Structures are given as C-alpha cells and as structure tokens.
Amino acid sequence: MWAAARPHRGMRFAATLRWVLASSAGSYCVSEVGPPLSGGGTSGVARSDPMAAIDVDSCLGDGFAALVVGDWEAARDAFATIVAVSDEPEALDGLGRALWWLRDPRGAVVHRERAYAGFRRRDELARAARIALWLSREYALVWGNAAAARGWHARAERLLATVSPGSDHGWLELARAERARDAMSSARHAQSALDVAVEARDSDLELHALAQLGLARVSAGALDEGLANIDEAMAAVTSGEPTSLETFADVCCTLLLACERAGDSERPEQWADVLESFARTHDHAPLLAFCRTCCAGVHVASGRVDEAEEELKAALRDLTDAGQKARCIHPAARLAEIRVMQGRFDEAEEFLRGYIDDPAAIDAAVTLRLARGEPDAAARLLMQRLDAIDRDTPSAAPLLARLVEARLADGDIEGARIAAVKIERIAETAGRDRVAAIAVLARGRISAAEGLGGAVSLLREAVNRYAALGLRLDTARARLTLAQALAASRAPDAPDVAGRAFSELESLGAAHEADEAAALLRRLGVKTKSGPRAAGALTRREVDVLRLLGEGLTNAAIAKRLYISPKTVEHHVARIYRKLDVNTRSEATAYAVRHLGE
C-alpha cells in the first residue's frame, strides 16, 4: 500500500501514539456555538453556513492522528464530518485511506479520486501525483484494470515532470520498480527510490523501497542479500519508525511474498511473534488483519490452522461481496491447501474451481491428483508451473520435490532422479537450509523406492534437518516417509517412528496423512489411539484455549489473553467440545484440570 500524505501535524508514530492516548478524551471536531436565541436566531455564528459549526483543523488533526494509530473508525468519522459539507481534499484523502483499511476499496478509490481533483485544482502537483500513483496500483491489484492503472501512472509521470526533485520522485521510482517486467530492472528502480528516500529523510519511502529491493533481489536469485533487506525493513516497521501504518502492511506483505519465492517458510514464523507483540504493545487489535490472506499465512506458519481458516473464509467473503480480485494470493487457493491437509478433498476441489492456474494452488491441486491415483496429471501440472519460472532458483525446489513424488507414484524412477538432481544443484548454489532438507528427502525417497540400504539414513537426516528448522509439518511428513521405509525393511523401530509421525500429524490437523500413518501402524500390528478424547487431536491453539477454560476464564477473557477475537474463541471452544466429546464448559474444564496440568 502506498503511503499517502503524512499527517498534517507531522507527528512521529510513537509521539503521536502517546499524544492520542493522553488527549483523546477531550478531542472534538464540532465548534461550541451558543444555543439558539428566541425566534430562531443564533449567537455569534451564522448558522446558514454549515462549515461554521465545524473546526476543520481539529477534525483533520483528529482524523490523521487516528490513522497513525490504526483507529480506522475514528478516522473515518472525523474526515466524514468535513466531507459531508465540503470538498476539502485533505479530508477526502484521509477518508479514502480510512475506508481502505475498513475494507471498502471502492469507497477508498472514489474519495481519493476526488482528493486528486481537489489537489490538482489547487495546483498542488506533488500531492496529486502521489494519489495518482496509489490509484494506479489499486486499479491494477484490486480491480485488474490495466488500462486505468496505466492511465493513472502516466498522469503521475506528467505531473511530477514539472516538480522539483525530491521525495515524490522517489515514490515514482518505487512505482516503476513494482511495474518492472524483470527483477534486475525492479532492483535498479528500487535502489533509486531508496537513494532518494535517504536523501529526503522519508522513512516511509525508505522502508517501502528497501522491501521492494529485497523482493527484486530474491526474484533475481540473490536470496541472502534480498532477505536481509526485508529483515531490515521489518525491524524498522515493527519498531514504530514509519509515520504510516500502510508502510507496516506493505512491508509485511512483501516479506511473505519474498519468502514464498525463496522457499523460506521458517522466516515468517520467526517474524510472527514479533508482529503479534507489536500489535499487542500498540493496542492494534485489527492491525494484522490488513490482508486476511497474509494474516492467514502468519497463522499457518505459527501452526494455528484453525485461525488461518477463519481468516481465509472471511477474505473469500470480502472478495465475493465486493466483486474484486485478490491482491496477491487468492484465499480460495489457501483454503484448498488446508482442506487437502484435512483430507476433505471434495471441498478442496470446489475451492480450486476457477483457480487451478493460480501458482499458490499448485500444491493442493497436485496433492488431490496424487490422492486420486493420477500421478501423470499431477506431473503435468508441475511441469507447466516449472516452465513458467526460473528452475534454477529456490522457489523451484518445492515444485521439483513434488515432481519426485509424482514420478515415483507413476513408477518413473529415472524421471524422479532427474528432478532430484536439479534440487541438489539448487541447494549447492542457494545455500538455503530448507532447500538442502528438500534435496536430502528427495534422495531418500528415491533410494527407498529402489530398495537401497542408504534410504533410512537419508530419511533420518531429512527428519533432523526439518526439525532443526522448526518446520513441524514438514518434519512430521518426513517422519512418516521414514516410518514407511523402516516398515519395508522390517526394522524393529518402525512402530515407534510411525506412532510418533501419527501423533504429530494428528496434532497439526493433517488428517489425510494422519490416516496414512494410522493405516501403517495397523499393518505393523499396532492399535492406534482414536476417538474424540485423544488430546493429540487438539491443535496448539485449541490446547491454549482449553488451558484457559481450565482456569475458569470466560470467552471474552480468553480472547483478551490470547489476543484473538471472541468469535474465534467460540469456534475453538466448539471444536474442543467436538474433539473431546464433551457437552458442557464444566466437562471441558474438568478435562483440562485432569490432563493438561498447571
């Protein structure tokens, strides 16, 4: 999200936060006017002028201060007070920004277009150009309107051609970086924007540019350098350095996108705790919901699948109701992934309908085809995606790993070996721990398929590598593959490894693979614990909720303690009742006291 005009009082984030918290109780937009005189007169103010009853400066100050601290409703109300009686461009601009955060992108565009026209009439070309750049991006990302996006970008270019060099030209360079067709061009423009930002001391531009530079470098294959840029930007935005929360949102989105391209799933999990701490410290309860799909990505990285599911459902409703396209990854693709994990294949297929070409949907689509005994169809999907990207970058490694699975399922060991060799080459050049783990697992799978003695040691190494990275789901999946290899060789520890894989997969909500592990245990003569009273059936967040139920907390108190919404707590409690086969809160509390301890 482009940072818009700064709050007119020029307050830094932390200072404004303290000021708002200290003074909000006495902040009013409406001027105090005398009571009506007898006969309908007024005292001191001519009531025929509606602007006379409004303290415009006070309303603007309240509105921009509310934007800075994330109080979107208060910002909307303050700016709307002015807009109701005037076309003041600052108020229109602020109202548009507030509406964007309140998930009304159509209203945001309408009001910011009016603000653009107002600044243009005033001959404030730089401010008009900044809004034009925002409109260009919004038309491209939300509405998919390439013509409108090009038109607004061209308008910004023309307006800034007559403006003295400064920060505004840096924002133009940033827009050029995002529109660039190749990573090297994007990096060049982002570096130019960063240089301008440092010179102009524009912290918002600096952090936007730093994140975009990192994304471009990751896309070009310079992973360590690019991710270091993004880590730096994340450190700054979570310290309260920028003046706009739009900067926070944009850098977080860029982090997730860059990590997906880099095949780095541990970095979002590491930042997740920092993000939640920032939101909690600054009392920004809705802050992480700036993009529900990105928010869901943070939840999944932290192992909170249930919360991710709720966010994605809400995101899908938002898009459907507004008739918009997704800004980046479509929530339907992410929901399909979760449904596949849960073994709910028919529902996953429904979510994928119409999004099969979405890059984010490839993993779910491949899993569906493999589960239905269609390895050749799965391989074709993977090859189509691999043809669309650079196969020598880390982002290709997870796709190649799935290709190994598909080839082996089709009996094509040689084809699997070719894909595994490509993963190893990527691992050698990229120096990424996760890619190295993927390469070892692929070699282990092939060795197991060939019946070679080294398969078990390779698969143990893969399990250890994933565990060292803290990737719980990948660790559990690799452990299941190890258990299958041990069972094939009649190793005595096969039941123990299979049992641990079963417990891990069940606790993570990976029902489909947990069933596979349970079937393996039965073949090994081991009875699996099943039924709703198995504590392992609860997710990590459900255990957190259950513990607090055991302490006697209400849903509202649990929501406050865990920093989630009361509605989300209700969903967790309902799932806990179902999984534990209890019907009342007292039964769940008793279970918590007996089985979870202090």
3-state SS of 524-563 is CCCCCCCCCCCHHHCCHHHHHHHHHHHCCCCHHHHHHHHC
Question: Quick check: 46 pLDDT over 60?
Answer: no
N-terminal to C-terminal alpha carbon distance within the chain? 44
For residues 426-455, give the mean pLDDT: 91
Of 169-178, 287-296, 307-316, 354-363, least confident by mean pLDDT is 287-296
User: Which amino acid appears at position 343 of this protein?
Assistant: G
pTM value is 0.64
Quote the tokens at residue 141: 């990302």
pLDDT for the residue numbered 581: 73
- Positive or negative, the CA dihedral 109, 110, 112, 113 is positive
Q: How confident is the model at residue 288 (pLDDT cuts 50, 70, 90)?
A: very low
Distance of alpha carbon 71 from alpha carbon 405, whole angstroms? 49
- Residue 144 phi, psi dihedral angles, 5° rounding: 65, 30
Q: Are 90 and 8 in contact, with CB atoms under 8 Å apart?
A: yes
Q: How confident is the model at residue 82 (pLDDT cuts 50, 70, 90)?
A: very high
Choice between 272 and 370, residue whose per-residue pLDDT is larger: 370
Distance of alpha carbon 523 from alpha carbon 504, whole angstroms? 19
Q: How confident is the model at residue 578 (pLDDT cuts 50, 70, 90)?
A: confident
Choice between 406 and 327, residue whose per-residue pLDDT is larger: 406
R_g of the chain computed on alpha carbons = 27
pLDDT for the residue numbered 577: 82
Question: Quick check: 22 pLDDT over 70?
Answer: no
Q: How confident is the model at residue 343 (pLDDT cuts 50, 70, 90)?
A: confident
Distance of alpha carbon 393 from alpha carbon 250, whole angstroms? 24
For residues 273-279, give the mean pLDDT: 71
Q: Which of 382, 433, 432, 387 is nearest to 405 (CA)?
A: 382
pLDDT for the residue numbered 326: 67
pLDDT for the residue numbered 303: 57
Tell me the pLDDT tens digit for each residue of 183-225: 999 999 999 999 999 999 999 999 999 999 999 999 887 888 9
- 511 vs 29, 154, 339, 581, CA distance in Å? 55, 51, 9, 18
Q: How confident is the model at residue 557 (pLDDT cuts 50, 70, 90)?
A: confident
pLDDT for the residue numbered 341: 79
Choice between 431 and 486, residue whose per-residue pLDDT is larger: 486
Distance of alpha carbon 84 from alpha carbon 62, whole angstroms? 16
For residues 148-160, give the mean pLDDT: 97
Q: Which of 90, 162, 95 is nearest to 125 (CA)?
A: 162
